[in-house]
Structures are given as C-alpha cells and as structure tokens.
Structure 1
Amino acid sequence: MHKKGIVLMNLGSPDSTAVKDVRRYLNEFLMDERVIDIPKLLRFLLVRGIISPFRAPKSAKAYKSIWWEEGSPLIVLTQQLQAALQHAVTAPVTIAMRYGNPHPKKAYDELLAKVPELEEVIVVPLYPHYAMSSYETAVEYAKEIHAQENYAFKLTILPPYYKHESYLDALASSIQPYLNEEYDHILFSYHGVPERHIRKGDTTGCHCLKVDNCCEVDSPAHAQCYRHQCVTTTHLVAGMLGIPKEKYSFSFQSRLGQDEWLKPYTAKRLEEMPKEGIKKLLVACPAFVSDCLETLEEIAEEGKEEFIHAGGESFTMIPCLNVHPKWVEAIVDMVEEAV
C-alpha cells in the first residue's frame, strides 16, 4: 500500500436539520441527471418549483427525528468506519460524499497532504449494488473531480460487491444474532429505483423486465442490473443463514413520484404481512451499509408504525453493517484484491 490512499465514498447528508440546509441538499441530490433522468429544464422546474419547496420542511422534520448529537448518523458512521479501517491498513483513509460534504476534492487533497508522492487512490463506493442513481453517479462524480483537478495519481474503483464472499459473510454475521429471537419472517428491504432505470441500464436492450424471471436467467445485463443484484444478495445471504424460503422475502422502499418503481413496495408489504399471519417481523436493509434517514426513520420509525397499525406484534430493524468488524475486514479484502 506504499504511495496509495483510500477514499470511502457514501451518499451524503444535509449539513444540519435546518430547512435551508435540507433544501440545498435536496436540490443537489435531485438535480442529478442519474437520479431524476429527465431533460434538465424539466428537472429544474420539477425539483426547484415543486419537490424541494414542499419536501424540504418535511424532510427536515424527519432528519431531526434521527439526528445524533454528533451530527448526521450517515456522516458519523462513515467517519467511524474510516477510523476502524485506518486501524487495519497502512495507507491513509479519508471519506467523501456524492452530495454535500466532504467533497471528493477535499478527500483527494487530504491524501496528497499525507502522501505527497501519491500514485494511486482506491475509491470504495459504499453501495454494494450497481444502480445509476447510487453506485454509478458516485463513481462518475469521483472520476469527474479527478479529471477536473488534473491529479497525477491513478484512480481505482472497487466494482459492485453484492456477491463478494467477504461482504456476504459480513452481512450474514450482522444478521445472525437477530435470528436467535422468535420471528415469523425476515424482510430484506432495498432502496427502490424506477423501473425505467432498470431498462435503461440493460446493456442488451432486451432482457431486464422483458424476460420472464429475468433476474434468474443468465444475461450480460446483470452486471448493471440493480434488481438482479438485490435478488442475488438476498438469496445468497438467506442460504448462508439457513433461512427457509418461506420465511424470507425482499421488497423496495423510498418510492418518489408516480412512476412505476421496482416491486413489491416495502410500505405495501408491511401493511399486508399481518393479514398473512406474519406478526413478528425482522427487517434488514442490505442496500445501505450505514444507517441513515432511509433506515432509521423510514423503516425503524415509519415502517414499524405501519406494521404494528396493520396488526403486527413485534418489529425489529436490523442495523446496517456500520462498523461491524467483519465489514471492516471485507473492505480490507476488497481493497487488497483491487491493488
């Protein structure tokens, strides 16, 4: 690892729970063409004129409900992961966010300050699965800043690791303790994306959402298919944990707008499950490696309320990998493979 550095790249967070900071964050996030993939003028009118003004106050309230004394949970947990990884490797480790702070340029400059003769930076996208609105936009942004600043060091990007043995082992290890309690079902809830994103990312142009059981039928499209990768992670981890097929399922959360998104929807399943006899539920969120608004508020608070209101008896959200020792080991393994 001589003359190398590591950047852990996560999604990002508002600087505070103030409405103005949340609005600024939402504007940057939703104006990303890989998040809302419509013409720029229409996107500007939609985001600045409709979504942000109405969503910012609501989102600010949601952030306040999960904000820690140290700051944003996602930022704090990423910093903790940075510290834990730094204990395990000799190369300097820093963090960057796709939206908000810290900016990738700051991360690159910090590494250069520590290693003036820096030759290579390994970027670790904290997204296990490939999606244009998460992994792809983070990677392309890291590359864009690298090119803009004309840095001399080489940039190496970790590929999606949704089925990497070390990642799966870490995920299974983080879930295992919760299987010791009595439960009826475990739901793997992933962040949702519009179905058009899946079709747009289909490198074959004729497979994703067009072939029966498309996620189970081998295709080159799977290299960039978010749904296939989520399904794969679910089945592999469930198999490692010995969870019977009838006791687990997957769904997709965080839908925005009226377009068709990946199904089944988490919110709908939480309402239906008690009527199906599922009264004691565990929920894991493998698309996120750090707990954030989408896990701490949308699942642990809103999701639990929906499930209990529908007749459920117990609801447990399993924390994300965060700083789990096996997760730190997994990153070390993947970085060593990359170099």
Structure 2
Amino acid sequence: MNNQRKKGVLLVQLGTPDAPSAPAVRRYLTEFLMDGRVMDIPVLGRNLLVKGVIVPKRAAASAETYSTIWDEVNGSPLMYYSILQQKMLQEQLGEEYHVELAMRYQNPSIESALEKMQGMYLESIKVIPLFPQYASATSGSVIDKVMEIIRTWQYIPKVSFVSSFCEDDLMIETYAEHGLRHDIDSFDHVLFSYHGLPVRQLGKVDPSGKLVCPDTGCDTCKKETNTFCYVSQCYATTRAIAEKAGISKDKYTVCFQSRLGKTPWIQPYTSDTLHDLAHRGVKRLLVFSPAFVSDCIETLDEIQVEYANEFKEMGGEEVAMVESLNDNPRWIQSLKRLVLSN
C-alpha cells in the first residue's frame, strides 16, 4: 500500500525512566516536573523548586521504588503494556494505518515518533493521550507538545485529538470485568482512587478563569455540566463502572492519590480515606485506579505496597488491586473505536 494513503495513530503515555537508577529517574522527574502544565508556577520558581529541592530529594528513593516493580525481562510495566497496546492496535487496524507509541516524558519521545510519521506523508494523524479523564497536566500537555512540533512542518496532514474517553463503554466494561474477577461482595468497601491534581488547576479549564460548580457536589455532577473538569470526569467514570459491576453507591468512595507539596490538592485524599475506613472497622478493601490504562508505579507500588501497608498498620487486613486495562482485547477494541470515530 502507498504510504501516502496511510492514516497515522499516535498513542501517548505519561512516561517512565529508562532504567530503575537514580540518574535515569532524575532525568525523568526533571522533564516531568519542569513541564509548565504539570507544575504551573513561574519558570524561575519552578526551576529552583524542581532542580534544587524536589528532584535531589526524590531521585534516589524513587529509583529504589522503581527497582521493586522493574521486571528483569520486560523492564518497566508501563512500557511493557504500552508496547503491547500499540502492537495489538496495529494488528486490529491493519495496513491502512500506522500506529506509533510515544511517552510524554523520556523515551520514545513524541519528537522521535512524529519524526517517523512526518516522512510518511500520512493522510491524517489521530493523537490519543492514554488518559481516560482530561486534565491540562496530562492530555493537555500531550496535545500542546504535539501541536508545538507539528506546526513547524511544511506538510501538515489532518490532525485530530481524543481529549477524553472517560465514559467509553468498552473501556468501562473492561474495568468492570477486571473488578468482577474478584468477589466484590466479599469486600467491605471499594475505592476508586484517581491521580490527584492541585485544586488551582481545576478552575483553569474554564474560559472565565474559575470553575463554577453546582450545589449538588462532585458526586452527582454530570460530565456535561463542566465538560473539561477532571473531577467531574472521574466521577462519571466511577458511576459507569459501579453500575456495570453492580456496586451500590453506599459501598464505594472516590478519592485522589499522589499529591505533592503543601498546596491544596483534590480531596478526599486516598491516604485520609484509608484512615477513615480503618477507624470505621473496615477490614478488606478492593481498589480500582481508572485514571491509568496500564499498571504502573502508582498502582503496583503506591497502592499495593505503600497504601496497603498503611492500611494494615491501622488494623485493616487486605487491600486488593483491580488489574488495569493492560492488554485486554476489549480495551484494544475500545482504542480501535476511538481511532475510527469522528
């Protein structure tokens, strides 16, 4: 088939260090935290904070953590599953499409992936940031970077982006299927733990500069009310999974993990929720992490090790983790449909 007739697909994940070593983690954290959409403070202060405080303090400890989840054969779990997703999607789409994988931070870079695609004179390129819920710090950063690069091309094909797929039914079915592999009724409570964001970033997605929320609160907010509100989309995803898996509203809690620094982040925090549930006598927890489409350090260590140990120290007995979407064929069908949709 003539390459000029091909359509391009660019899958973009957050990123992972090249190795579980302090120098590699230092490079990864520096690139990640120096992104103005991730740490949205003036560049001078960001430089001082990231390069002078955060990275020097966190690099060695983070490298040690990465080493605990690093597979001797497959390396980074996030990279392993991302490559599988790319290959499986390519097989599903066939020769009419060319599928590339990139990481927003580190390798393979968005620049290198687009450089390959540029020389193919593709008919179109669809960019899919692999984050179900839109946030400026994730999907927004990917879209920003892609546009920054493509605008320098002399030949620019039709380019489109998938900003959010938080209620995609095939994706929801996959999360629910993975949850139902566990005996949900045997657990005292279910957590839906999402990656956290600074509260100040939520209002920035509203053109007026401040997000106006309904009095009913986030747990009943519909995605259509504030289309690009990350929290609204997290609750929309949660409601859809809970309904599909048959989890009643009184049995689950939505919470947010991975906060950094002293500034207010989205609440309730996962760690505080664990304390509250333990004090209420909850013994067995089942945890979904629907902000992630591949198992990674946030699911394999932060929840299954750090939070699990914390919960047990407070009297809990078990924290079970629901497997991410990973290489489930239904999830690949979800991606395929996102590519083919308008």
Q: TM-score, normalised by structure 1?
A: 0.93
Which runs of 5 or more structure 2 residues have no equivalent in the other structure?
Answer: none
Shift in Å, 1:127: 0.4
Secondary structure, in 3 states, of the residue corresponding to 1:148? coil
**Structure 2 vs 1, CA of residues 274 and 181 (structure 1 numbering), >3 Å: closer, same or farther?**
same
> How far, CA to CA, are the matches of 1:248 and 1:238 in structure 2?
8
The aligned counterpart of 1:307 is: 311
> How far, CA to CA, are the matches of 1:78 and 1:208 in structure 2?
36
Counterpart mapping for 1:69-148 below 5 A: 69=72, 70-90=74-94, 91-111=97-117, 116-148=120-152
Contact 1:19/1:57 (8 A) holds in 2: yes
Instruction: Provide Cα deviations, 1:247-275, integer angstroms capped at 9, x if missing partner.
Output: 11110000000011001100111222122
Of stretches 28-37 and 272-281 in structure 1, the one that deviates more from structure 2 is 272-281
1:155 is aligned to 2:143: no
1:17 pairs with one of 14, 17, 20: 20
Contact 2:222/2:232 (8 A) holds in 1: no
In structure 1, what residue type is equivalent to 2:108? P
1:298 is aligned to 2:302: yes
Counterpart mapping for 1:315-330 below 5 A: 315-330=319-334
Contact 2:6/2:122 (8 A) holds in 1: yes
Shift in Å, 1:112: 5.1
In structure 1, what residue type is equivalent to 2:71? W
In structure 2, what residue type is equivalent to 1:99? Y
> How far, CA to CA, are the matches of 1:39 and 1:324 in structure 2?
41
Secondary structure, in 3 states, of the residue corresponding to 2:92? coil
The aligned counterpart of 2:54 is: 51
The aligned counterpart of 1:244 is: 248
> How far, CA to CA, are the matches of 1:262 and 1:201 in structure 2?
15
In structure 1, what residue type is equivalent to 2:283? K
Compute the RMSD of aligned alpha carbons.
2.0
Counterpart mapping for 1:52-67 below 5 A: 52-67=55-70
Kindly report structure 1 stretches of 4+ aligned residues shifted beyond 6 Å.
none
The aligned counterpart of 1:41 is: 44
Counterpart mapping for 1:328-339 below 5 A: 328-338=332-342
Secondary structure, in 3 states, of the residue corresponding to 1:97? strand
> How far, CA to CA, are the matches of 1:208 and 1:194 in structure 2?
17
The aligned counterpart of 1:227 is: 231
> How far, CA to CA, are the matches of 2:160 and 2:304 in structure 1?
35
Number of residue pairs matched? 336
Counterpart mapping for 1:158-169 below 5 A: 158-169=162-173
**Identity across matched positions, percent:** 40
1:4 pairs with one of 7, 11, 16: 7
1:254 is aligned to 2:258: yes
Shift in Å, 1:71: 1.6
Shift in Å, 1:205: 4.1
Secondary structure, in 3 states, of the residue corresponding to 2:86? helix
Contact 1:31/1:44 (8 A) holds in 2: yes
> How far, CA to CA, are the matches of 1:212 and 1:246 in structure 2?
17
Q: TM-score, normalised by structure 2?
A: 0.92
Counterpart mapping for 1:181-220 below 5 A: 182-208=186-212, 211=215, 213=217, 216-217=220-221
In structure 1, what residue type is equivalent to 2:110? P
Shift in Å, 1:208: 4.1
Instruction: Provide Cα deviations, 1:9-35, integer angstroms capped at 9, x if missing partner.
Output: 000011111111111111110011111
Contact 1:74/1:291 (8 A) holds in 2: yes
> How far, CA to CA, are the matches of 2:141 and 2:225 in structure 1?
18
Shift in Å, 1:220: 6.5
Of stretches 147-156 and 191-200 in structure 1, the one that deviates more from structure 2 is 147-156
